[in-house]
Amino acid sequence: MPENNVGTVIIGGGIGGVALAYYLAELGEADILVVEARELASGCTGGSMGGVRQQFSTSNEVELALRGRTFWRSFQETFDYPCTYHQEGYLMLTGRQEILDKLTAAAEVQKAGGAPNVEIVPADELRRIAPWLSPEGLLGGCWTPEDGRVNPTDGVYGLAAAARKLGVKFLQHTRVAKIEKAKGGWTLHTPEPITARRVIVAGGLGSPDLMRPFGLDLPITPMMVHYAFTTPVIQDEPLPMTIDLDTGFCVEREQDAAVVTILESSSDDSYGVDDMLAEFAEAAAVRAPVFTEVGIRSTISAAADATGGDGHPFIGEVEPGLWTMTGFDGHGTMQGPAIAKFTANLIAGIPDPVLDPVLFDPHRPLGETQEWLRAARK
């Protein structure tokens, strides 16, 4: 059990909070404690499909995505910890001209931001990338071969191991019910109260309740994702992360099999895994008939953090010594480590050469979503 008086407490043991602890310690910050209500990586991180992509439509999201991809591609070498980057690419599909036009414009934003190898592919060339795919009803898609996927839980464990070597402590199975101002810092209401000079809330879906008493009404809500693991399929052909933006049909490689789902930006609470499987079967009959023949080994339902307003995360100092870093809009795996490094530098007073902190100010007025390319049915 750590001392009850610490320098910095990070609330949240997902990919963002653990990465932040590591980067702060790397900058020389001492006496850091990560507090997690359950186990590390048990929230949105643990339920993530682990996709890592450059396919975004705004320059700031592309910048974060490219930093995130660099992080994951170099993870094993940097941290000497097993976390394979499976570079199988991302293929976004559509049969609607307005969506293809938007994908084409997004590709130009990616190129302008320094993203390599982005290609708009007409329908009659899609089988070059995914031979099992039926182009019926499609106009084309966007292909980014350097994108891929990781196991984010492995990443959290590797970061935690590296952080511990730098002196970071972890307190699991400890829920923070409330944060209150105290003399010289803050008190965290836990079974055994903790006082800290600095507190950083990186609690994902739990962040709004903790920040509401300080005048922040963070638009972060659960977005349920249901997905299934199949029996072996397409073992001798490429299987990139493939998303049909018209139907939500989504498949990705999982060892000798696949993970399948219907990606939906919004669904009511009654929508469950059986509904997803029924929709997937209907979509697969058109888009990839081979998936109508596979069995289902298991299913998972998990909540992602859907972020409202302009869709950007909330990063910054709310009151002296009280910070927040939350609201990844379901992109925590791919962008969380990059956001964490940005936040650590912000806390340390190190300016970013590209990203303006004003974009992420937790007190900013919230307009409409700027980033349209959430990988889900449009």
* pLDDT digits 0-9 by tens, 17-68: 999 999 999 999 999 999 999 999 999 999 999 999 999 999 999 999 999 9
Length of the chain: 378
The pLDDT value recorded for residue 236 is 92
3-class state of residue 217 by DSSP? coil
Confidence of residue 1 (pLDDT cuts 50, 70, 90): very low
Does 88-148+221-306 match 5-47+152-220+309-360 at the fold level? Answer: no
Task: Write out the two tokens for 94.
Answer: 């559509």
* pLDDT digits 0-9 by tens, 173-232: 999 999 999 998 999 999 999 999 999 999 999 999 999 999 999 999 999 999 999 999
> What is the domain partition of the chain in residue ranges?
5-47+152-220+309-360, 88-148+221-306
HSE at residue 353, side-chain half, CA atoms within 13 A, is 2
pTM: 0.96
* pLDDT digits 0-9 by tens, 134-179: 999 999 999 999 999 999 999 999 999 999 999 999 999 999 999 9
pLDDT mean over 112-140: 97
The pLDDT value recorded for residue 245 is 97
| Strand ranges for the chain from DSSP E | 5-11, 32-35, 51-52, 90-94, 119-122, 140-144, 148-149, 169-171, 178-182, 185-189, 194-201, 220-230, 241-244, 249-254, 257-262, 296-307, 314-319, 322-326
Among 50, 39, 327, 46, residue whose Cα is nearest residue 204: 327
Give CA separation, 99 vs 78, 86, 244, 368, 378, in Å. Answer: 38, 27, 11, 19, 8
The pLDDT value recorded for residue 110 is 98
Bridge partners of 196, per DSSP, are 6, 186
pLDDT mean over 279-292: 97
* pLDDT digits 0-9 by tens, 308-318: 999 999 999 99
pLDDT mean over 231-242: 96
* Number of C-beta neighbours around residue 255 at 10 A: 9
Give CA separation, 217 vs 175, 308, 316, 366, in Å. Answer: 21, 11, 15, 11
- Residue 2 pLDDT > 60, yes or no? no
Among 79, 72, 78, residue whose Cα is nearest residue 52: 72
The pLDDT value recorded for residue 3 is 52
In this structure, are residues 68 and 45 in contact, taking their beta carbons and an 8 Å threshold?
no
Task: Write out the two tokens for 140.
Answer: 């084309």
Among 93, 145, 141, 85, residue whose Cα is nearest residue 117: 145
The overall average pLDDT reported for the chain is 95
Task: Write out the two tokens for 305.
Answer: 């953090």
- One DSSP character per residue, 127-162 reads GGT-TT---TT--EEEEETT-EE--HHHHHHHHHHH
Task: Give the Cα separation of 225 and 49 in Å (integer).
Answer: 10
What would the CATH number be for the domain defined by 5-47+152-220+309-360? 3.50.50.60
The CATH homologous superfamily for domain 88-148+221-306 is D-Amino Acid Oxidase, subunit A, domain 2 (3.30.9.10)
Residue that the structure tokens 């439509």 belong to: 57
The dihedral built from the CA positions of residue 176, 180, 183 and 185, taken in this order, carries a sign that is positive
Among 262, 189, 277, residue whose Cα is nearest residue 224: 262
